[in-house]
Every structure is written in structure tokens, then in C-alpha cells.
Amino acid sequence: MRIPTLLLGLLLALSLGVLAAPVAKAQSAAELKQQIQARSQNLAEFHAMLNDPDQTVRLAALDTMLKSDDIAMRELAYSSCLNSADAAMRGLCVKNKIGDMQTISIEIGDIDEATEIEQKTVATWGSAYSFTVTEFDERTGQFTTSGTYKKGNGHVTGSGLDFAQPYCSGVFELVDSGYLEGELRCTGSWAGRYPGRIRLQ
């Protein structure tokens, strides 16, 4: 299916940096207002394409927006795709977001009938388990992790994330609130099961 001419024009403009360029210093309030209105229109047109009936248009627009150097363009894309009903858009969104993140921080939730080890572990972690993401492969969604006792591998598949490290592993899935929710399972001196969530927005 051919991508509409309007979409091709907008994608080309963004790739050339036309949409990503910051607003230039205006000579007058009127000129500044004109630039803001033009920028607002560009954002609105891309936002509309994220809801296009044609999935190819939605995905092409989303991919272009997520790769833009324009912060506002990327944030608009993330705010739309993280809660999209389109599974393909959610998957593309999660993969790009994890690729953008240098650190994954898992907020540990309440543990029903926590063991003494679990209580001590959460106190030691400060209620969050974090690690650094390195060598992220955008094509496959695979990545490596680093940090003290936290060297391992992970994978983004669909709208979920999983990883395995020497003492802990986890599986998390995107929920409507813009979080990945799941469980962290650990062995050794951290032995236990820890419900948690990863904030994406």
C-alpha cells in the first residue's frame, strides 16, 4: 500500500531537519507567533497521522517522530504510542524508549508476607533495583546490562522486557499507565520475589 503524498512530504521535511529545527530568534512578536503557529501545525499533522486508519501510515509517522532530534516531537510520539490500542505501535514505542534509557530503575512494590531476606533486600536497595543498559540493538531489541553484580542480557519483545543477571532476572509488560509491570526474582543473599514497575514516561 502506498503511503499518502502528505505523509511522504512531512517525513521528508523532518528528515531534512525542517521540523526538528528550533524556533529561530524572532525579530518581532508577530514573527515569533507565526513561527510558533507553523510549528504547532506540523506537530498537529504528525499527531493526526498517529491515529490514521492505515497502520502503515501510523507506523511510518511514529518511527519518524521517535527518531527525530525534536524533543517535543518525540514526547508527543511517546505520549500517544504508550497507550495505543495498536500492538505494533506499543512494541515500537517500548523498543525505542528502552533504547533511549541509559538506566533501568525498577520501583519495588509492596510484598505480601515478605520474608526477612526480602525485607532486608528492599531496605538495602532503597526500594529500587537499578542497572545500566549497554549495547542496545535496535533491530533485535537485545541489550546487555552492567553494574555491580548486574552484568547480564536482556530483550525487548513486543511490548515487554525481560532480562537475566547472575542473581536476579525479571519479566515486565507494558500497562496502560505508561509503566512496565512485572516481577523481579532473585537468588542468593537477595533470594525472593519482588513485584515492581519500570516508569517509561
Rounded mean pLDDT for each run of 10 residues along the chain, 201 residues in total:
52 48 60 81 86 93 91 90 92 93 94 95 94 92 89 95 96 92 96 96 80
Would you state the pLDDT for residue 4? 56
**30's grid cell:** 508577530
In SS3 terms, the chain reads as CCCCHHHHHHHHHHHCCCCCCCCCCCCCHHHHHHHHHHHHHHHHHHHHHCCCCCHHHHHHHHHHHHCCCCHHHHHHHHHHHCCCCCHHHHHHHHHHHHHHCCEEEEEECCCCCCCHHHHHHHHHHCCEEEEEEECCCCCCCEEEEECCCCCEEEEEECCEEEEECCCEEEEEEEECCCEEEEEEEECHHHCEEEEEEEECC
**Contact between 116 and 200 (Cβ < 8 Å):** no
* Angle between the N-to-C axes of helices 71-81 and 55-66, in degrees from 0 to 180, rounded to the nearest 10: 140
Distance CA 78, CA 90 (A): 9
Would you state the pLDDT for residue 26? 46
Distance CA 201, CA 199 (A): 6
Instruction: Name the amino acid, one letter, at 172.
Output: F
**10's grid cell:** 512531512
Instruction: Name the amino acid, one letter, at 28.
Output: S
Residue with cell 486508519: 53
Would you state the pLDDT for residue 7? 55
Would you state the pLDDT for residue 14? 52
